[in-house]
A = this chain, B = another copy of it.
Amino acid sequence: MASEQAHSDERADTYDEFESRVERISNIGNAAGILRWDQEVVMPEAGTPARAQQLSTLSSLSHELLTADETSDLLEALESDDLSDEQAAVVREIRRQYDRETSVPGELVENISETTTNAHPKWMEAKENNDFETFAPVLEELVELKREYANHIDPDADPYAVLFADYEPYIDLETAEKVLERLRDELVPLIDEIQASDTDLTTDAFAGTFDDDDQEALARDVLDSLGYDWDRGRLDTAPHPFSSGTQFDARVTTRFEEDDLLGSITSTIHEFGHANYTIGLPDEGYGTPLGEARDLSVHESQSRLWENHVGRSRPFWEHFLPIARERFAELEDVSPEAAYESANQVYDDNLIRVEADELTYHLHIVIRFEIERDLISGDLAVEDVPEVWNDKYEEYLGVRPETDAEGCLQDIHWSHGSFGYFPTYSLGSVLAAQLYAAAEEDLGEFDDQIREGEFDELNGWLRENIHQHGKQFTTPDLIERATGEGFTADYFLEYVESKYGELYDL
C-alpha cells in the first residue's frame, strides 16, 4: 500500500509538472493573442517593427518550451501511467503538438516564415495589377516548401492530408473529401434549379446607405439580443472581422460599410458564434487543452450555426426587424419576409467567395480544395492554376472570371502558405446543420423561441454538448456524443433543400 501511495504521489507530481509547462505555453499563446488583437484593432501605425519582434520572441519561447527534452520525458512518463480521462486528453493533445513541432527542422520553419512574409506583398501586387505571373514563382516555392514540411511530419502519408491535419487534426481527409464531393454533386444541380426558377424574391430590403455609428449601435443590439456576455467581451471594428481570446475575454470585431447593412449584421452574428463558443469553454480548464476550443471545423460550426440557422431564419427577422427599425427609420416599410428573402438570396453571377450566399459558398470552397490538393500532389502546375480555376467556376457556378484578380488571386490564404485551410469552412457549415438538427431533436424546434428573441435553450444545448468539453474529446467523438451519429452532410443537405426549395418554389 505504501509503495502504491508513493507511486501515486509521484505520478501526481509528474502530472503537475507537466501541467505547469502546458499552462505556461498556453499563457504565452494567449498573450500573443492579445498582441495580435491589439495590432489589428488599436495599435498605432508605426508599431509594427516592435510588435513583430515581440510576437516572434513569444513564438520561439513557446516553441522551445513545447519541444524541450523535458516535455518529451514528461509525456513518456505520463503515457505509461494511469491517468484520468481529462489528464489523458491533455497528454494526447500535447503529444500531437510535440510530435508535429519536433519533426519539422527549425530551418524549414524559418524558411516558410520568410517566404510567406515575402509572398504577401507579391500577392498584393499581383492582385492589384491583375498579373498572376508576379505571384506564381513564390506560390511555386510555397507549394514545394509545404510539401517538404508535410514530408517531415509523415513521409508515408498523402502530403495534403498532413497539411489539412494542421487545421483539422481529427477528421481524416477522406471523410472531408467525401463531404465536399457530396456538396458539389448535390449543390450544383440545386443551384441550377434555383437559377432557372422564375420566383421573384425580394433582394433589396437592405438597399440604401446607413450611417456607421448607427450600424455600430445596431451591431451592439444584435449582440445584446443573442446574449453576448459583455463582461467577457467587447466589440470593435477591424478591416477583416475576427474574434479572439479566451473564456474570460472573448472579443468580437466587425466592420461597417455604408451600403452593406445586412453584411455587418450577418458578420457580427458570425463572430458572435465564435466568441460565444470561446466564452462557453470551462473556466477551470483555462491554461490547458481542456479549456481550449476544438479545431477549425468545430469553431466554424458555431459561427455558421448562429449566422445561418439563427440569423438567416424567418423567425429571427420577425424578432430583429423591429429592433433594426429603431435604429433605421428607412426600414419602416420592410417586412420580415422581405428581410428574410434578402438575407437568403442565391446569386447567379457572384465570383467572390466572401460575398457568396449560403449555397454557392461551398462551390467556391470545393474549387479551392480541388486545386490546392492537386497543386500539392503535383497533378497541377502552378502556371495552370488560372485556367483550371476559371474552368471550374464555369462548370460549377456557370460564371467565368474575366480577370485573375477576381479569380484565383482573390484570397489571401495561399500567400500565407495555408493549404488545407479552406475545407474547414465548409465542414463547419455542414457540422452546424448536424448540431442544430440534434439540438432540435433533443429540445424541439427553436422557431418560436427565436421569434421571441429567446436564445438561452439553444445556447444551453451548445454549452452542454460542445463548449464545456474544450478539447477533451476528439472531433469525431465530440460529434458522436452530441448528435448520436458520425459526421454527416445529410442534415446540411436536408436543410438547404427544404429552405431553398420553399424560397424558390422548386
Cross-interface CB contact of A248 among B23, B24, B27, B50, cutoff 8 Å: B50
How many residues on chain A are close to B (CB under 8 Å)? 41
**Overall SS of chain A's interface:** helix
The CA of A232 and the CA of B32, in the complex, are separated in Å by 20
Complexed CA–CA distance, A283 and B47 (Å): 11
CB–CB A50/B30 < 8 A: yes
Q: Please tell me which one of the listed residues B38, B54, B251 contacts residue A27 in the complex, with CB atoms under 8 A apart.
A: B54
Q: Does A42 contact B (CB under 8 A)?
A: yes
Is A45 an interface position by the 8 A CB rule? yes
Is the C-beta of A239 less than 8 angstroms from some C-beta in chain B? no
- Closest-CB distance, A345 to chain B (whole angstroms): 36
Q: Which of B44, B232, B287 contacts A46 (CB 8 A)?
A: B232
Answer whether residue A111 sits at the interface, using C-beta atoms and an 8 A cutoff. no
Q: Are A54 and B30 in contact (CB under 8 A)?
A: yes
> For residue A46, which residues in chain B have a CB less than 8 angstroms away from its CB?
229, 231-232, 248-249
Q: Is A89 an interface residue (CB 8 A)?
A: no
* Closest chain B CB from A36 CB (angstroms): 10
In the complex, A84 has a CB within 8 A of chain B: no
Residue of B nearest to A43 (CB): B249
Partner of A58, one of B31, B51, B53: B31
Asked if B28 contacts A248 (CB within 8 A), the reply is no
Nearest opposing residue in chain B for A286, CB measure: B50
| Residues in chain B near residue A118, CB distance under 8 A | none
User: Among B53, B233, B246, which residue has its beta carbon within 8 angstroms of that of A286?
Assistant: B53
Asked if A77 is at the interface of the complex by the 8 Å CB criterion, the answer is no
* Given A31-B58, A44-B251, A251-B44, A53:B233 Cβ within 8 A: no
Q: Shortest beta-carbon distance, A335 to chain B, in Å?
A: 37
14 A-B pairs (CB sep. < 8 Å): A24-B57, A24-B61, A28-B58, A31-B32, A31-B35, A34-B35, A46-B229, A46-B232, A46-B248, A47-B232, A49-B283, A49-B286, A51-B248, A53-B287
